[in-house]
Amino acid sequence: MALNYDHLMNYPIPEVRQVLRWQDVALYNFSVGLGQDPMDEQQLDFLYEPRLKVMPSMPVVLASPGFWSRNPDTGIVWQQILHGEQGLVLHAPLPTEGEVVGRSRITGIVDRGEGKGALMYSEREIRDAKTGALLATATSTSFLRGNGGFGGPTGPVKQPHPEPDRAPDVTLDLATRPEQALVYRLNSDLNPLHIDPAVAKQAGFPRPILHGLCTFGTICHALLREMCGYDTARFGRMDLRFSSPVFPGETIRTEIWKEDGGAAFRARVVERDKVVVSNGLFHYA
């Protein structure tokens, strides 16, 4: 089935409700690297239930509709999807317990031409199920490598945030754990690429790679620590572009440039000196 622009723009992505427990919050925080120093009191705030905080990046895994683009009626060649960009805006404090609802929709599709793929933009609103209050908006860009040339619009294309042409003002190295992908997948991101060596090999990798959204959470930790002093109320917005995968156990170095009203950032793995995230934008109070 070929990709149909009108059908996909109006595709009924299922609404998802999720009961949130403090254990879910602690697991997510642990899965993106918090707690590697069990004597760090500020990090324990994200793991110890009497004073538990939610990592601002957690909405990317809340009330997710799952791998709906794998459905045959979408017309998407799901085997050739790449996660290109991720964004997140917080609108209200995140609860450590309660129920949330996620409503997702496609916001745009851009045809890059035959053999050049297509871009699909989507967003998910996460709301408090009881009050209806908007908690967060997660945005995503997917590169549909197998769907170019379907006759759709050729724009508009989202422009990345420019990176400053100077040395970063702040850098922070955060190590990932060798088993981190095995833990992160318990947030319900069950793609076998991140656990099965045979699947990773078929995809062209020597071993399973870290989830892109786990990298997103690790960089969020760096920004929260360096720019907000672990004060989650100061987090506003975070956007980035994925450039290359991370292997579990590698060290992620976040490079930050201070700007009016926020910061620009990128990230690289230290061991291979490889940029893995580029064109980052961070807004904070």
Nearest by Cα to 69 from 112, 14, 124: 14
Active site residue 212: yes
Q: Which of 24, 111, 189, 239 is catalytic?
A: 189
Active site residue 209: yes
SS3 for 62?
A: coil
Yes or no: say if 231 and 238 are a contact pair by the CB < 8 Å rule: no
Q: Which of 212, 217, 262, 280 is catalytic?
A: 212
Nearest by Cα to 55 from 32, 89, 86: 32
CA distance 55 to 39: 19
CA distance 219 to 225: 10
Question: Measured between alpha carbons, how far is residue 81 from residues 38, 78, 195, 248, 249 in Å?
Answer: 38, 5, 18, 21, 25
- Which is it for strands 16-20 and 98-111: parallel, antiparallel or unpaired? antiparallel
CA distance 284 to 238: 9
CA distance 280 to 166: 15
Q: Which of 109, 209, 219, 252 is catalytic?
A: 209
Yes or no: say if 87 and 138 are a contact pair by the CB < 8 Å rule: yes
Nearest by Cα to 235 from 123, 127, 88: 88
- Residues with a catalytic annotation lie at 189, 194, 209, 212
